Structure 1
């Protein structure tokens, strides 16, 4: 077993913590940046690797990269990446604000490789985080345990691990070889033999489900896909310029300071801007594919709306899904060979955060305006949560829109904390903050 100390440990090398690493290099190039470590459980940096489909585009402008909204002159910008790899002229000529998803992923890997002060280590899977206290009970740091048995002690901890994958209960008993969540689509489909006439059920009515419904027709050429959703049909995102202003970093202050009922209204009305919708190009492509399928009489494609999957079981060499019509209550069976889940992520705090909350004796998880976890008693250490604070910081919290400015705010808070020194209490939760209950494990 190995143990080491760092001043700041960031868990996860996704966009959130890469933006933080860049902010540390640019704003705190001395002791804090060189004393910081980012760990990533995978062997490389990739953005949504399970859905790196050839034609998929980002839904966010390239200007909302890891740095531009904080520092437009940064060498870590997406524009500088394009220049470095010799593709700037071609990208300009395409005339789009929205890069391909594979470009964003490559950009993130380029940023990771370009870090010169903050260290980044791969194949480091975190299994638990424990608080460290001195003899008087003051919180002094964090002990992070890794899967290889090693430990890392840090004064500052930043968790940018994303939310846990959501597998609906109806599918929990199915064998893993039968079920593919969207986060593993590319890897799992590549393992399957191509010429088999698979019957494929795709579950969900959002962008991920629609993309898999489209992609599987190419990836498994002889398949017969059925798209099953609870909604009345596929819908486009609501993306007016007025609602898009709620994705501005400047909108966070107004949301954080709003009353609970106002927050709920905003999140409810903004739901269709990010969830359960499709970009217009995907929607148009799917509709044309369905039209041609009907026109030619192939009957290969099927879309089932307003149905719940109420049970799923394996029967001999196939999967049997029970579908319940939300309009009539009647049920029917859908027999298939493979289930693709576009069911998103669990809305609760990730398991690693819940485990830390339990170790701290917290009944709920609360963060302040600068994303700092509220802990009881005096403390000379701090933990920050990235990408899981939609309830307190708004609809854009988990998206690329927020990365650059949020990294700036967290870095500034840490620098201020280091300058102040000495213990202080973080138990008091700001009156505007939301306490998120910690469910039992």
Structure 2
């Protein structure tokens, strides 16, 4: 029915999923595999599903499809294999359907290109087009109360990014997987010549159109994304001068050795969740070298070789096209300089160390573009869930082991629930925002959603509890 505020869908969904990136796609696959919803069965009730995605089509890190970049995890950690190797949505089955299974085998690698893995995900997503609505930005989620005052469902309000029209959908269960929001340091202003690394491949060709010009470009950061962008800039703009600005003293290799890599095993989540908050924080700190501010050793070696070749040609660092500026940070940004560029005022990380810049901390770079590779924040769910804050049992965001949001069951029916994905690192471990646990986690969430009070999980579908 129509309302002055938009369109309200009277249909009650079993699940509305906010976002349709890899995490939600894994949920769709798990529902398909576990519940067999695409196999006609007249004896079972089929769940009513809806996925809402802000983008106009499925896309995974489109801004970081740097030429030649590879995955950092094995293809076995795809969207299905760890949960069910027989699933039709494994990476190997994707290769088989594309006629490239043997060809990929001949590569002799467990690490596919990022380009191919993105295509694998698009292939998976294409199977669920009938339950996904693209171009919908979810604004808020609010409780729907019964006559007794007990909330037994939630209203998911979204806005069409094209028309601005508001839509409302009612759901018994809501799964939120909105991904990370680009993090920008406070000192970095909003400026058209400043972009986050997440949009590097999509925005740079428009920002600096002439690839032959001797641009000045800076990259801020010391992790994998910063290193990839820094290395690729030399390929895309061979005449440009590029500088990598980082707080650390050197690019450091990621630790993906076998024993350390076990922290990403799905079964490790149980032990991590059972720890105290202090123990969890210590664990995350000790495991940072697996994921944060680190670079794959192969890329470090390529960059080092590039820097070394410059030393052969010239002893004057000022003539180099690529420079790494360690132990620096940006203290201020001039939005416009006399030459029309940005002015980056660098300062030593240790304010008492004037030797790191060679100019008592007054080092200024004039650049045509700045790419900021400083990671992501993962708290977007808090704004979306503001209308349900009063339903929390102790006025804080607590997450259960099955990824459900802790709700006061004196106010919310046991038939209704909210699940969070990709924002639970502090409770579920450092793998929470990564691909490593998606297949297993999606199965756990689907099991918990459809094993609640109003439905029973079966292999062939959802049987209504009478």
TM-score between both structures, scaled by the size of structure 1: 0.90
Q: Which residue of 2 aligns with 1:144?
A: 156
Q: Which residue of 2 aligns with 1:2?
A: 7
Q: Which residue of 2 aligns with 1:393?
A: 428
Q: Which residue of 2 aligns with 1:55?
A: 68
1:196 and 1:220 in contact (8 A); partners too: yes
The answer on 1:168 being equivalent to 2:182 is no
Q: Which residue of 1 aligns with 2:401?
A: 369
The answer on 1:44 being equivalent to 2:57 is yes
Whole-angstrom distance in 2 between the partners of 1:196 and 1:7: 55
SS of the equivalent of 2:70 reads coil
Residues 247-293 of structure 1: per-residue CA shift (max 9 Å, x gap): 00010001011122321221111001011000111111111111112
The answer on 1:336 being equivalent to 2:357 is no
Residues 160-203 of structure 1: per-residue CA shift (max 9 Å, x gap): 1112210111112x42x111101111110121312332211100
Q: 1:125 aligns with which of 137, 142, 166?
A: 137
TM-fit CA distance, 1:419: 4.4
TM-fit CA distance, 1:115: 3.3
The answer on 1:378 being equivalent to 2:412 is yes
TM-fit CA distance, 1:378: 3.0
Q: Which residue of 1 aligns with 2:255?
A: 238
Q: Which residue of 2 aligns with 1:315?
A: 336
Q: Which residue of 2 aligns with 1:345?
A: 376
TM-fit CA distance, 1:300: 0.9
Q: Which residue of 2 aligns with 1:436?
A: none
Whole-angstrom distance in 2 between the partners of 1:32 and 1:145: 26
SS of the equivalent of 2:433 reads coil
Size of the aligned set, in residue pairs, is 416
TM-fit CA distance, 1:142: 1.7
SS of the equivalent of 2:255 reads coil
Q: Which residue of 1 aligns with 2:214?
A: 197
TM-fit CA distance, 1:312: 1.1
Single out whichever of 55-64 and 118-127 deviates more from structure 2.
Answer: 118-127
Q: For structure 1, which runs of at least 5 residues remain unmatched after alignment?
A: 422-441
1:50 and 1:184 in contact (8 A); partners too: yes
Whole-angstrom distance in 2 between the partners of 1:378 and 1:124: 27
Tell which structure's C-alpha radius of gyration is larger.
2
Residues 358-384 of structure 1: per-residue CA shift (max 9 Å, x gap): 542354211100000012233231110
1:223-372 alignment to 2 at 5 Å? 223-297=240-314, 298-316=319-337, 317-327=340-350, 328=353, 330-331=360-361, 332-346=363-377, 349-350=379-380, 352-357=381-386, 359-361=388-390, 362=392, 363-372=395-404
2:138 and 2:384 in contact (8 A); partners too: no
Q: Which residue of 1 aligns with 2:84?
A: 71
SS of the equivalent of 1:130 reads strand
TM-score between both structures, scaled by the size of structure 2: 0.86
Q: Which residue of 1 aligns with 2:115?
A: 102
Whole-angstrom distance in 1 between the partners of 2:349 and 2:52: 45
1:139 and 1:378 in contact (8 A); partners too: yes
CA RMSD of aligned residues (A): 1.8
TM-fit CA distance, 1:417: 0.4
CA change 1:225–1:113 in 2 (3 A) is same
